[in-house]
Amino acid sequence: MLEARQSEKNENECVTEVYGIIHVTIPQDISNNIYTNTLLLHPSPEYSMSVLDIQYKNQNGECRRIETCPTKQVNNAEVPVEITEAGKLVFSFPKREITELQIKVKQPYWFRHDNKRVFMYGFQDIIVEYREYSQDTAEFVTKFSLEGTDRRFTNVGSPNITTPVGEPTFNDYTAKHELYFDEGLSEKFNFSTDIFQPLQAVYVKTILKTAGDQVPILRELELPYRHEEIIE
């Protein structure tokens, strides 16, 4: 769906940003599943406006914030965190019966036309889905290399995971890592132990597990390590 708006302000008003609320009603008679656990947003224009808050209404008429919408504590109250210059966003959350969505946005960018400031804001796509997965676990292997240098690994720490905005954080159950020194993964080693052999490549197997009906999604895998020069 395309949901876009335009706001024009006279130059002498000196307006530097505008706010909008996109209200979406979810048709209940076109789906065989009353639940939603995924929301996809594609802002228009992309990488310009901010997403301020996302709330939904359930079948009881109660308004709730999407659980994985970023928040912070202010004066003992939970308030949403602004997602600035938003690109495509995916929000994954426990299944909910959603009948309406309310998305609050801010547009601080404009272009001039006929002595007016023209603000554009909206979405190319707003998609609500219920995703089901056939597997409870998934795994992949990442190679970290110092090859092509005169350095070797002396210690490899446990990886740090960064999640995208709108995704639940990982814990020891949903993400595990294993360390190997060969591509064939023939022997597992412990993280954060000293390495004495001239090792220039390590392999990290990442194992992801579902938590309820939520599937972990990661953005970045960062490997802390120490190294030193190889002495011939």
Tracing tokens 């966003």 back to the chain, one arrives at 89
Residue 30 half-sphere exposure toward CB, CA atoms < 13 A: 6
- Report angle CA 80, 219, 86 to the nearest 5 degrees: 45
Average pLDDT in the chain:
89
Q: What is the pLDDT of residues 69-91, one digit of tens each?
A: 999 999 988 999 999 999 999 99
Q: Is the pLDDT of residue 1 over 60?
A: no
- The pLDDT of residue 232 is above 70: no
Q: How far is CA 140 from CA 53, 110, 182, 207, 230, in A?
A: 34, 43, 15, 7, 30
**Cβ atoms of 24 and 125 closer than 8 Å:** no
Alpha carbon separation from 116 to 5, 49, 121, 228 (Å, rounded): 16, 19, 16, 60
Distance CA 43, CA 126 (A): 9
Amino acid at 27: P
Q: Is 201 in contact with 124 (CB distance < 8 Å)?
A: no
Tell if the pTM clears 0.85, that is, is over it: no
Where does residue 136 rank: exposed (0-12), middle (13-18), buried (19+ CB within 10 A)? exposed
pLDDT band at 173 (very low <50, low <70, confident <90, very high): confident
Q: Per-residue pLDDT tens for 5-43?
A: 889 999 888 899 999 999 999 887 766 678 888 999 999
